[in-house]
Amino acid sequence: MAFLSSIKEMLGSLPEKRPSTRAIEPAARAIHEKKKGAEGKKERVAAIKAERDLHRSHKWRNRRWASIIIVNLLFVLSFQFDVQLIEGSLTASRVIGFHFADLNAALQVMLAYKEILINLVIGTVTVLILWWLLGGRTFCSWVCPYHLLAEIAEFIHLHFAAENLVRDFPLHRGLRTFLYVVFAGLAVVTGYTVFEAISPVGILSRAMIYGPGLALIWVVGLLVFEVFITRRAWCRYICPIGLTYGFVGTISPVYVKYNLEDCLHEGDCRQVCMVPHVLEVTKKGYAKNVDVGIGPDCTRCGLCVDICPTKSLTYDIKGLNKFI
């Protein structure tokens, strides 16, 4: 049931409400009961105040930014110096002879041409295995160049919001699922990969490698919209790439694990999370088990891992002990 619920959440449904006591495992129920008591509440408030005064790590954020810059820089340098170790862009490339194709782009092309292209099949299998191993939506936060710009835009948005200069107008998360179907349908009907023409991921990747074009105006417009109107509009509510990799990540061995026992439930993790609905389980009384794997819509960005004062959120590998 938890697996199906996480899929429904990714497609846009509301997160599960606080579960009944009977739905919670005995070990988790005992921890919840302990935290309910007056003494537990007093200790928790004091602990939250103390922990918020401590320095917060940016370890995973810095590693992630470095990953985005290095991966995209490799494409640029390979083209500029004609090394030919890495050819193409993030949409479709060949790395040391191995074909790589973005799963969503490959789907769009095959729908548009109405045939299965062998090179795309080879490229998608390679990419599917890679992102299944690393964790589905890892692509979004560790490779996508637009993601880095959107993160900067979000920082500016939050600064303006703190000054009461802007407000966030969130959209329905189901819009992304609707647009996923729309873009697929347009590819079939028009014979053209409509989404690839407006995807800021492909636009930025090609602009960095081959030089800027007028399409960058669209990317700038998106960023302005995210600064002043809707925070992270593209990544949260529109981009079908994230949804495609989310499906891959449903059974990924690498994931973020939540441990109930030491959690202070102060909510800082949800404040920094790029997709905060996946962290509903961190609310007081919501966890059904002591250890809970965060759902497939999680980008594995590590912001929650960095900010959690008690290490209740960590990276983990299924079947192995905690390695971080």
Which of the two residues, 256 and 321, has the higher pLDDT score?
256
The three-state (H, E, C) secondary structure of the chain, written as one string: CHHHHHHHHHHCCCCCCCCCHHHCCHHHHHHHHHHHCHHHHHHHHHHHHHHHCCCCCCHHHHHHHHHHHHHHHHHHHHHHCCCCCEEECCCEEEECCEEEECHHHHHHHHHHHCCCCHHHHHHHHHHHHHHHHHCCCHHHHHCCHHHHHHHHHHHHHHHHHHCCCCCCCCCCCHHHHHHHHHHHHHHHHHCCCHHHHHCHHHHHHHHHHHCCCCCHHHHHHHHHHHHHCCCCHHHHHHCHHHHHHHHHHHHCCEEEEEECCCCCCCCHHHHHCCCHHHHHHHCCCCCCCCEEECCCCCCCCCHHHHHCCCCCEEEEECCCCCCC
* 54-107 tens-digit pLDDT: 657 899 999 999 999 999 999 999 999 988 788 899 988 888 878 888 999 999
* 8-23 tens-digit pLDDT: 888 888 888 888 888 8
Q: Tell how strand 254-259 and strand 313-317 pair up.
A: antiparallel
Rounded Cα gap, residues 314 and 77, in angstroms:
34
Span 206-233, average pLDDT? 96
What pLDDT, on a 0 to 100 scale, did the predictor assign at position 55? 57
Q: How confident is the model at residue 283 (pLDDT cuts 50, 70, 90)?
A: very high
Give domain limits for the chain: 1-13+21-33+51-55+254-324, 60-247
Q: How confident is the model at residue 318 (pLDDT cuts 50, 70, 90)?
A: confident
Q: How confident is the model at residue 323 (pLDDT cuts 50, 70, 90)?
A: very low
Rounded Cα gap, residues 149 and 170, in angstroms:
19
Which of the two residues, 309 and 233, has the higher pLDDT score?
233
Percent of the chain's residues with pLDDT above 90 = 60
What pLDDT, on a 0 to 100 scale, did the predictor assign at position 324? 47
Span 98-126, average pLDDT? 87
Span 101-122, average pLDDT? 88
Span 226-244, average pLDDT? 94
Alpha carbon of residue 31 to chain centroid: 30
The residue type at 30 = A
Q: How confident is the model at residue 166 (pLDDT cuts 50, 70, 90)?
A: very high
Residue linked to tokens 């002990």 = 321
The most confident of the ranges 36-45, 128-137, 150-159 is: 150-159
Is residue 206 predicted with pLDDT exceeding 70? yes
The dihedral through the CA atoms of 92, 200, 303, 132 has a sign that is negative
Bridge partners (DSSP) of residue 315 are: 256
Span 22-39, average pLDDT? 82
State the Rg of the chain over Cα: 21
What pLDDT, on a 0 to 100 scale, did the predictor assign at position 151? 96
Q: How many CA atoms lie within 13 A of 99 on its CB side?
A: 12
CA proximity to 14, closest of 240, 276, 269, 271: 276
Rounded Cα gap, residues 49 and 46, in angstroms:
5
What pLDDT, on a 0 to 100 scale, did the predictor assign at position 248? 87
**CB-count exposure of residue 298 (10 Å: 0-12, 13-18, 19+):** buried
What pLDDT, on a 0 to 100 scale, did the predictor assign at position 3? 75
Q: How confident is the model at residue 116 (pLDDT cuts 50, 70, 90)?
A: confident
What pLDDT, on a 0 to 100 scale, did the predictor assign at position 57? 80
This model's pTM is above 0.85: yes
* 289-306 tens-digit pLDDT: 999 999 899 999 999 999
Which positions ≥6 away from 120 have C-beta within 8 Å? 92, 101, 106, 109, 110
